[in-house]
Amino acid sequence: MMKVWRPQSHPVMGLPSPAMAAELGADRFKAVVAQRDAAIAAERADPYHNGWEPPIWKVCDALLGVPWVDPEWAARMRRHLKFEKPVGVLLINGGNRAGKTIYAAKRVMRVLRQRGGARAWAFQSNIRMSIDYQQADMWNFFPHHLKRKIQTDSTYIAYKRQTGFSEGKFILDNLSDCVYRTYGQEEGSVEGANLDIVWPDELVPADLVKTLELRISEKDGVMIITFTPVEGYTETVRMFQDGAEVVHESPAYLCPTDGGPPAVARALGLTDEEFDEIQAAASVRPARAAWAPQSRPEPCGEWLNAAKDAREGHDGRTFEMVPRVLKCTGMGDDIMRAVVFFHSSDNPYGNPKNIYRRIADKPRHHILERFYGVAHKTYSAQFRLFNPKVHCVPFAAIPVTGTNWHIIDPHGSGRNFFMLWIRAASDGNHYVYREWPGNYLIEGEGVPGPWALPDGKLKDGAPGSGQQGFGWGYRRYKEELARLEGWQDYVAGCPHTANSHREEWLDALDPYLGAKEEIHRRLADSRFASTPKMERDRPVTLLTQFADLHVPIEAAPGDDLNEGVKDINDALYFNPLAPIDYFNHPRLYVCEDCRNTVYALQTWTGQDGDKGACKEPIDNLRYYFRAQPSYLAPRLVEDEAEVKYW
């Protein structure tokens, strides 16, 4: 019987198509096949040195700042993604079989093999999962001369596929070691360790992430967290993603927005012809077409040169955009965090076509989870349409004239006020142009930290250092208003140097005697502003205290939370499926420098009630819209040579 030659199947290293093989001729085709067979054999024998790596892996390496990536290219990629320095913690959210576990296993081994005396910890939910996934994948990247039982004074390696590494650890011949642990195991023993790299897989608790960040800080180490969002928007995911900035996004070709069918071939990075070849080969042997790749991952290196919007395809079709890289919030943190999303199509070895086939009839959020790694929220922020790319503008883009409002939330005893300045402009839009405290220098206090920070347990975030009171009295707040708004007498300066004279001067400052920034109305939370307390045998309130200082403040109208939220949503509204133009645009814009307000609009759910950490910016916005603000055109008063707002 004549022997039929069957080519080796490989998801990445394809053969020339039948047409190309005919052009090459028999001899040249045989040489190509031999070269390909040798490459496949080398990969199987030593995947550490010869294994193929998806382009998204290099992006992760650039973010982490590892030494084996060209430092100049890595710095360019970080700048492109708005990272000032390498990140210390990387969360990888991946679709099914997206390759995130292989990436982490190989990078842990690379650190251990290249850095003598390095220490690594790898965490899993239970020991069986650790043995079957983490330990098996890392054993795959061991050097050949160590793939045996070795027990010496400097090296300890004993591995079996069924039971994993003896005692849950190994020591390489360069004194680098790795310990495998489970969540909850001897939690106290985490304290005090100094680690070069940590790899928590899947359901790592948010509190443990915070603890492990301290353990990698001394050695300037890194933490790689790998996660498949089958459990949805967990506490850890929330800690990383709430308020995070999308610094790169990609089209989800399996989630069209034009009513058409999913573009499956495009989702796999293939041409229609290549996809047809794979489909045709699925019913015969070999199961995979040897001349066609299983998927062609997104060429992430081209991000540095891309200048077009991929939202629309060459044929005019439109698709949902999904995040590829997130820059996590956390102003003032020593360790920067990032989130990278691995798509199933990033890993041709995982047979992404079959993954799509299993989820094709599932709901949209299921496809986003299983193919694109995007976790589904069982709850959502109150302002679903808020999009920093639409609603945030640079300060220079805010109209210089308009009707200015100053809104105050006194917050409570021992904590700072939170204040917003909002301009109703002649174009009918409203612009938040300043917040306090903000990400800028405050005299005597420095640059304050964030008002609120993401938190694993608290859905509305945890209080940030910006809430910690400066110990200011009303007179000091008045001075700050005078500085920020450029009151004429304040700009001129105090004529005396003695403190007693300075206090008298501050008391006498009047915002209506000339200011660079005229304020039409000042509003404050009515609950705090109108609540009296006894001083010198008379009841006083915030309103009366500021009135005594010649700063008139009114109580904000009402306290109907739901109506105020509706007002904000009305102002944020635009049709996200249509172009932004004269007829389709929001009425509320926020200066991109107002990072606390942006975070609150992205994050606030209301589920933490009145104690929600980012509630104050939202309260100020609803006080503003409840007052029915509008632009008031200036009118020249005949008997005064100045412009007044009426």
Whole-number CA gyration radius for the chain? 30
Please give the pLDDT value at position 158: 94
Distance CA 325, CA 38 (A): 36
Q: At 402, give phi and psi (nearest 5°).
A: 160, -175
Distance CA 579, CA 428 (A): 19
278 has a pLDDT exceeding 80? no
408 has a pLDDT exceeding 90? yes
Q: Please return the burial class of 327, using the count of CB atoms within 10 Å of its CB with bins 0-12, 13-18 and 19+.
A: buried
Please give the pLDDT value at position 308: 47
Please give the pLDDT value at position 536: 56
Residues above pLDDT 90, as percent of the chain: 52
pLDDT in tens, 135-176: 999 999 998 889 999 999 889 999 999 999 999 999 999 999
The helix (H) or strand (E) run that includes residue 337 is strand 337-342
Identify the CATH number of the domain in which residue 453 sits.
3.30.420.280
Please give the pLDDT value at position 331: 46
User: From residue 417, how far is each of 14, 477, 481, 532, 599 by CA, in Å?
Assistant: 64, 9, 12, 17, 17
Whether 497 is covered by a domain: the verdict is yes
Please give the pLDDT value at position 168: 93
Biggest CA–CA distance in the chain, Å, is 113
Please give the pLDDT value at position 379: 61
pLDDT in tens, 338-376: 999 999 999 999 989 889 989 999 999 889 999 999 987
Whether 195 is covered by a domain: the verdict is no
Distance CA 385, CA 388 (A): 10
Distance CA 254, CA 387 (A): 22
User: From residue 506, how far is each of 445, 473, 496 by CA, in Å?
Assistant: 19, 12, 11
User: From residue 329, how far is each of 88, 149, 197 by CA, in Å?
Assistant: 14, 46, 22
Position 191 confidence tier, pLDDT thresholds 50, 70, 90: low
Distance CA 485, CA 488 (A): 9
Please give the pLDDT value at position 4: 61
Q: How many domains does the chain have?
A: 1
Position 493 confidence tier, pLDDT thresholds 50, 70, 90: confident
Whether 616 is covered by a domain: the verdict is yes
Please give the pLDDT value at position 643: 45
Whether 511 is covered by a domain: the verdict is yes
Residues above pLDDT 70, as percent of the chain: 88
- Answer yes or no: are the C-beta atoms of 417 and 411 closer than 8 Å: yes
Position 286 confidence tier, pLDDT thresholds 50, 70, 90: very low
Distance CA 594, CA 614 (A): 13
Whether 368 is covered by a domain: the verdict is no
Where do we find the tokens 């814009």? 589
Please give the pLDDT value at position 337: 93
Q: At 223, give phi and psi (nearest 5°).
A: -130, 130
640 has a pLDDT exceeding 70? no
pLDDT in tens, 587-617: 999 999 999 999 999 889 988 888 889 999 9
In this structure, of 31-45, 62-76, 305-319, 397-411, the range with the lowest mean pLDDT score is 305-319
> Which of the residue ranges 309-318, 397-406, 510-519, 556-565 has the most confident prediction, judged by mean pLDDT?
397-406
Position 422 confidence tier, pLDDT thresholds 50, 70, 90: very high
Whether 212 is covered by a domain: the verdict is no
Whether 328 is covered by a domain: the verdict is no
Whether 560 is covered by a domain: the verdict is yes
13 has a pLDDT exceeding 80? yes
Q: Give the number of other CB atoms < 10 A from CB of residue 481.
A: 25
In sequence order, what DSSP letters do the residues of 241-269 get, joined into one string? HTT-EEEEEEEEEEEESSSS---HHHHTT
State the average pLDDT for the chain: 86
Please give the pLDDT value at position 579: 86
Tokens coding 234: 């967990």
Tell me if residue 475 falls in helix, strand or coil.
Answer: helix
Where do we find the tokens 């002649």? 426
Full domain range(s) for residue 616: 388-636
Distance CA 342, CA 94 (A): 4
Please give the pLDDT value at position 332: 45
